[in-house]
């Protein structure tokens, strides 16, 4: 039996993540995505009622997956300190092979002008704050503002700073406890 070459909804969502990461939210339209996938706009509209519906599903897809690798790595760390350091470093310098991590800077930029993206970012950051706060509690740091500082620094640090700025920040927090 011949294998179908029909695109699945997940193919469109994956292409959307890639387009968002490479070109920003202006690339999230039916025609450029169809061109990138080598198909017609009809295939797009088979899966999505319109572009805003695609945007909503893309944002939900990203939000459902953005923290999985991050939290898995934290759970596998040998110590709470290693988990905290690893989470902060992964946020500041994400794995370039992780499509959800690659799309995050563009999703954050899009959040400035799109309510759905802003809501997803707020949800993701809230979950990260809870995990960072819990890790800090386990290592004896009870000031909740430290969790916010670590997350804000991790989100704001460019990946090309050199050295280990997130490790230095975690070391500073540990030294102050």
Same domain, 85 and 171: yes
Say which residue, 94 or 120, is predicted with more confidence. 120
Boundaries of domain holding 94: 66-176
Our measurement of the distance from residue 170's CA atom to the centroid of its chain's CA atoms, rounded to an integer in Å, reads 21
- Residue 44, domain CATH: 1.10.10.60
Same domain, 29 and 56: yes
Arithmetic mean of pLDDT over the chain: 88
Q: In 10 A of CB 103, how many CB atoms? A: 24
pLDDT for 124 equals 95
Same domain, 142 and 71: yes
The reply to whether 55 falls in a domain is: yes
What is the DSSP secondary-structure string of the chain?
-PPP-PPPHHHHHHHHHHHHHHH-GGG-SHHHHHHHHTS-HHHHHHH-SSHHHHHHHHHHHHHHHTTHHHHHHHHH-SSHHHHHHHHHHHHHS--TT-HHHHHHHHHHHHTTT-HHHHHHHHHHHHHHHHHHHHHHHHTT---HHHHHHHHHHHHHS-TTS-S-HHHHHHHHHHHH-
Same domain, 54 and 129: no
Same domain, 99 and 131: yes
* Domain endpoint, select from 37, 62, 87: 62
Q: How sure is the predictor about 96, in pLDDT bands with cuts at 50, 70 and 90? A: confident
In tens, the pLDDT along 111-165 reads 999 999 999 999 999 999 999 999 999 999 888 888 988 888 888 765 445 566 6
pTM over 0.85: no
What angle is formed at CA 173 by the lines to CA 172 and CA 177, rounded to 5 degrees? 115
pLDDT for 176 equals 64
Same domain, 114 and 171: yes
Same domain, 97 and 170: yes
The reply to whether 77 falls in a domain is: yes
Same domain, 119 and 146: yes
Same domain, 56 and 142: no
In tens, the pLDDT along 67-80 reads 998 888 888 999 99
pLDDT reading at 92 higher than 90: no
pLDDT for 54 equals 98
Work out how many domains the chain is built from and give that number. Answer: 2
């Amino acid at each position: 039996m011949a294998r179908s070459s029909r695109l699945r909804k997940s193919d469109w969502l994956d292409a959307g993540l890639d387009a968002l990461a490479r070109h920003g939210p202006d690339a999230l339209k039916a025609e450029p995505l169809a061109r990138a996938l080598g198909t017609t706009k009809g295939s797009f509209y088979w899966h999505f009622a319109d572009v805003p519906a695609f945007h909503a599903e893309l944002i939900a897809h990203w939000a459902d997956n953005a923290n999985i690798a991050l939290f898995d790595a934290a759970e596998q760390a040998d110590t709470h300190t290693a988990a905290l350091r690893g989470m902060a470093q992964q946020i500041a310098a994400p794995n370039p092979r992780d499509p959800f991590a690659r799309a995050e800077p563009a999703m954050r930029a899009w959040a400035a002008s799109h309510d759905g993206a802003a809501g997803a970012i707020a949800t993701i950051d809230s979950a990260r704050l809870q995990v960072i706060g819990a890790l800090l509690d386990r290592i004896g740091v009870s000031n909740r503002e430290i969790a916010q500082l670590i997350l804000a620094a991790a989100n704001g640090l460019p990946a090309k700073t050199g050295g280990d700025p997130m490790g230095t920040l975690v070391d500073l927090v540990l030294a102050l406890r």
